[in-house]
């Protein structure tokens, strides 16, 4: 296959990288984001 660098990178990030999590934030992550938003703003 003739793939450019960008398509290879996207394929690795979206399909082949084993440690990536797809889905929503956990409750703990959501709380961290909300508290940082309150203290720092947008």
Stronger pLDDT, 40 or 14, i.e. the higher one: 40
* CA-to-CA separations, 10 to 4, 20, 38, 39, in angstroms, rounded: 10, 13, 33, 34
Average pLDDT, the chain: 85
* 18/35: higher pLDDT: 35
pLDDT at residue 1 in the model: 64
CA distance 20 to 37: 24
Tell me if 25 sits within 8 A of 33, measured CB to CB.
yes
Q: Where are the domains of the chain?
A: 5-40
CB 39 within 8 A of CB 32: no
Q: How confident is the model at residue 15 (pLDDT cuts 50, 70, 90)?
A: confident
Structure tokens at 18: 């084993």
Task: Give pLDDT, residue 34.
Answer: 94
Tell me what the mean pLDDT of segment 3-30 comes to: 84
């Amino acid at each position: 296959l003739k793939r450019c660098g960008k398509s290879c990178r996207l394929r690795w990030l979206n399909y082949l990288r084993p440690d990536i999590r797809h889905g929503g934030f956990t409750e703990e992550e959501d709380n961290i984001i909300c508290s940082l938003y309150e203290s720092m703003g947008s």
